[in-house]
Amino acid sequence: MRKTRLENWIQEIEGLPQLTREALDALQLRRLNETLKRLHDSGRAYPESVGSLKELEALPFTTAQMLADKPGHYLLSSQSEVSRVISGATSGTTGPAKRVFYTEKDTEHTVGFFAAGISEMLSAGEKCLIAFPFSGPFGLGDLIAKAVERLGAIPVKAGFGQSWAELCALVNKTQPDTYIGFPAVLLGLCRVYGDSFPIKRALVSGDACPDGLMRELEKALGSKLYPHYGSRECGLGGAVTCPAFEGMHLRENHIIAEIVDENGKVLPEGEFGELVITTIGLEAMPLIRYRTGDYTRILSPCPCGGVTKRIDRVTREEGALSIEKLDSAIFPVDGIIDYRVVYDRELRLELSCLAQPDRKALEMIIKELYPQAKIQLSLRAFDYSDKPMYPGKRCILL
């Protein structure tokens, strides 16, 4: 089996004669100490250096609330060096608003990482439908398009917020081979477009892709998915799947990952907990031990033979009600294009359907997940003028 192409990129840009676990660990320690010195010299309360990666565990955490409370405190570059700022609360969440800064070099590293991950499924001359927002030269959609072009392929800029009719017309006109974007949108588009759907491979990102949704997508496309994990705090690109399709390889030249329990204690490899990242490769806004609020585990070495660490599928801590569990149970129902869910003393679901599903069977599916909940279903016929029901990450609206 061919090793992940991410490692070819790491080896090339880091100038390493060979990529080994020892070489990565040494690179991470050197970069961590360079980052700590920058923070220390700028007056932040960090040591000037550490003697080993293990000593990272003694340093304090950074949280989303801290970024929201002091948006400029973590910026280490001058304002003139900043090429991109992402502001606002994360799509689909009610978390605190944050501002994350990037230099041009930061975004160039992101494009390089994207190109390495996308190259697992995209070849020169092929077309790729990109269903992420295009907000300017350093926006997410634009960076992905640059990565696609770097591979000699052709980006098809769908953006986000178009109606199903507009998306179908774009697909019909351009006949893309591959897709990059939100998973639930891709499934809806597969079902709306029908049997002649040209997309056969997909890198899904921007939201969770639970088992039921993943199975439906892989059945519709006739191929395995390439999940990707990223966040604004890790430079938009964090981990990506290889041809083994078992977890996502971390961008370890720029990210040190830990898994911690609810008390902040570092967990051993293989145990599930909260993902904590230290961004050692960002110029503008490196973060030490940032608690992502995402939950996963670090996997054992990959069957592909790569040496980079991998994380398992990532989920969000959602409390008693979980949109991921609902997605996994509801999207396998034939004819469901999209749905939105609100909880206000009862679980209210509005579903867009190509064919009318069995209401009682659908209620039973939801009752199996939440036997004590009062359930109200609103089923309406699909209309091509509709748009996907969520403008970003799916969530239960409260």
Domain co-membership, 250 together with 339: no
State the pLDDT confidence band at 93, using cuts at 50, 70 and 90. Answer: very low
Digit-coded pLDDT (tens) for 112-136: 999 999 999 999 999 999 999 998 7
Domain co-membership, 8 together with 146: yes
pLDDT at 325: 95
Domain co-membership, 127 together with 266: yes
Q: Lowest-confidence range among 57-61, 96-100, 234-238, 292-296?
A: 96-100
Which strands make up the sheet holding 255-260, listed edge to edge?
255-260, 273-279, 290-296, 315-316
Digit-coded pLDDT (tens) for 191-233: 999 999 999 999 999 999 999 999 999 999 999 999 999 999 9
Find out whether 171 and 193 touch, Cβ atoms under 8 Å.
Answer: yes
| Mean pLDDT of the chain, nearest integer | 93
Domain co-membership, 10 together with 40: yes
Digit-coded pLDDT (tens) for 284-315: 999 999 999 999 999 999 999 999 999 999 99
Domain co-membership, 309 together with 345: no
Q: What is the residue range of 99's domain?
A: 1-317
Domain co-membership, 243 together with 270: yes
What is the DSSP-derived secondary structure letter of residue 233?
G
Find how far residue 209's CA is from the centre of its chain.
10
From residue 248, alpha-carbon distances to 65, 244, 297, 394, 397 in Å are 27, 10, 11, 21, 29
| DSSP letter string, 66-110 | HHHH-TTTT--S-GGGEEEEEEESPTT--PPPEEEEEEHHHHHHH
User: Per-residue pLDDT averaged across 250-263, rounded?
Assistant: 97
- pLDDT of 88 > 80? The answer is no
Count of domains forming the chain? 2
User: Per-residue pLDDT averaged across 167-174, rounded?
Assistant: 98
Digit-coded pLDDT (tens) for 355-394: 889 999 999 999 999 999 999 999 999 999 999 999 889 9
Domain co-membership, 337 together with 263: no
Contacts of residue 366, defined as CB under 8 A and 6 or more positions apart, other chains included, come to 326, 329, 330, 347, 349, 373, 375
% residues pLDDT > 70 (the chain): 97
Domain co-membership, 45 together with 172: yes
Domain co-membership, 295 together with 353: no
CATH number for the domain including 165? 3.40.50.12780
CATH number for the domain including 342? 3.30.300.30
Q: Show which of 265, 288, 317 is a domain's final residue.
A: 317
- pLDDT of 59 > 90? The answer is yes
Q: Show which of 317, 333, 359 is a domain's final residue.
A: 317
Q: Show which of 317, 341, 360 is a domain's final residue.
A: 317
pLDDT at 245: 95
Domain co-membership, 310 together with 331: no
pLDDT at 95: 54
Domain co-membership, 281 together with 349: no
Phi, psi (5° rounding) for residue 86? -105, 120
Find out whether 367 and 377 touch, Cβ atoms under 8 Å.
Answer: no
- The strand pairing partners of 202, in sequence order, are 179
Domain co-membership, 290 together with 233: yes
Find out whether 258 and 252 touch, Cβ atoms under 8 Å.
Answer: no
